Amino acid sequence: MIAKFPGFLIKLSLLACLFLTSVSTNAQLSKLDRATLEEISEDRKAKSTEFYKFISNSTNYISMGMPVSLFIAGVITEDKGLKKSALVAGESIVVSTLFTYALKNTVKRPRPYTVDSLIIKIGPGGGYSFPSGHTSEAFALATSLSMSYPKWYVIGPAYLWASTVAYSRMYLGVHYPTDILAGAIVGSGSAYLSHKLNHWINQKHEKKLSVAFAY
């Protein structure tokens, strides 16, 4: 059963990608996407705009800075668990980024502001739209931290930040709701797969060590 685990992860990932691709090409969802984004755009306010720009811009800094900070803290305190959590969080973001890049260049969905004159871009965002890279990064980090430290004071703030990042991408006019949903699934799924794969590798390593010590 353990030997089949990596193959299962690959199949599960491919199925998730196919599902997300089909969602992005559905005509009815596309209309709902546009209507939702147009409604959000109509309610923009100056203070809210600055806030969501700040949140959106924080994504890369926090996604990269958090694993590095945790690892440094682990080195200083000689905490192996903390260093391991930092590495898995970093791996989750890398896996998420690779999946996001692959999907973007497979689906090739244009940005909302390029096809709908009612949606004005007011934040950074270029290239293809589906899925949202900022959202996948944020949810990869939030899920990874929540799996490493399943406490309410970690889970709550982590997902609150990730959800706010996701909303900010719609508010700024650079992503559709389904881009956001896909990004959240890709990010959370990448973190889950990374944690499970690392757990499988560690179990296999421990089993080898126990066999070696037995002899």
- State the CATH number of the domain containing residue 164: 1.20.144.10
- Has residue 12 got a pLDDT over 60? no
Contacts of 84 (CB under 8 A, 6+ apart): 74, 198
Is the whole-model pTM more than 0.85? no
Give pLDDT, residue 113: 86
- Other Cβ atoms closer than 10 A to 180: 25
Q: Does position 134 have pLDDT exceeding 90, yes or no?
A: yes
Task: Identify whether 12 is part of a domain.
Answer: no
Q: What is the mean pLDDT of residues 183-205?
A: 82
Predicted local confidence at residue 211, as pLDDT:
42
The predicted model gives 102-127 an average pLDDT of 83
Residue 17 lies in a domain: no
Check pLDDT > 70 for residue 27.
no
119 or 192: whose pLDDT is higher?
A: 192
Residue-range definition of the domain harbouring residue 95: 45-214
Total of domains in the chain: 1
Look at residue 202 in the predicted model and tell me its pLDDT: 67
pLDDT above 50: residue 213: no
Per the domain annotation, does 70 fall within a domain?
yes
Does 190 reside within a domain? yes
Nearest alpha-carbon partner for 169 in 142, 132, 199, 137: 132
Q: Is residue 2 part of a domain?
A: no
With a cut of 70, say whether residue 11 has pLDDT above it. no
Q: Is the pLDDT of residue 189 over 50?
A: yes
CA distance 194 to 124: 29
Asked if residue 115 is part of any domain, the answer here is yes
pLDDT band at 4 (very low <50, low <70, confident <90, very high): very low
Task: Give the pLDDT confidence score for residue 214 in this predicted structure.
Answer: 46
Domain membership of residue 148 (yes or no) is: yes
**Mean pLDDT calculated for residue range 99-103:** 91
Between 152-171 and 46-77, two packed helices, what is the crossing angle to 10 degrees? 140
Asked if the structure places residue 113 within a domain, the reply is yes
